[in-house]
């Protein structure tokens, strides 16, 4: 196998890895945007983004986020349902 062939295969693998990395980043970004859109739609009537998670109080890096992660969002939702059922809301 020639050096040129090895180099071209190596470059191809690098490009493939770059494409896979870019795809993974894009997927993560798409999921974050979808989560934020879901949170805004679901809680926009009751909550506003204030830089802190509305469940645990942690600082949030993203300015428009209501919760630090999906677990806090689910826990908040569960707590609100429990409050509604028990008549506290």
Of 1-9, 27-35, 72-80, 81-89, the segment contacting Zn ion by CB under 5 A is 72-80
* CA–CA distance, 89 with 86 (Å, rounded to integer): 8
Q: Is 66 in the site for Zn ion (CB under 5 A)?
A: no
Of 10-18, 34-42, 43-51, 60-68, the segment contacting Zn ion by CB under 5 A is 60-68
Q: Minimum distance between the CB of residue 67 and Zn ion, rounded to whole angstroms?
A: 5
The answer to whether 76 touches 55, Cβ cutoff 8 Å, is yes
Q: Is 53 in the site for Zn ion (CB under 5 A)?
A: yes
Burial of 13 (0-12, 13-18, 19+ CB in 10 A): exposed
Q: Is 73 in the site for Zn ion (CB under 5 A)?
A: no
Among 56, 62, 81, 84, binds Zn ion (CB under 5 A): 56
């Amino acid at each position: 196998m020639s050096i040129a062939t090895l180099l071209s295969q190596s470059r191809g693998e690098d490009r493939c890895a770059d494409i896979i990395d870019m795809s993974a980043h894009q997927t993560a970004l798409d999921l974050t945007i979808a989560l934020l859109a879901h949170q805004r739609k679901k809680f926009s009537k009751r909550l506003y983004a204030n830089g802190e998670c509305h469940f645990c109080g942690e600082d949030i890096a993203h300015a428009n986020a209501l919760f630090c992660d999906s677990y806090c969002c689910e826990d908040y939702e569960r707590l609100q349902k429990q409050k509604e059922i028990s008549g506290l809301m």
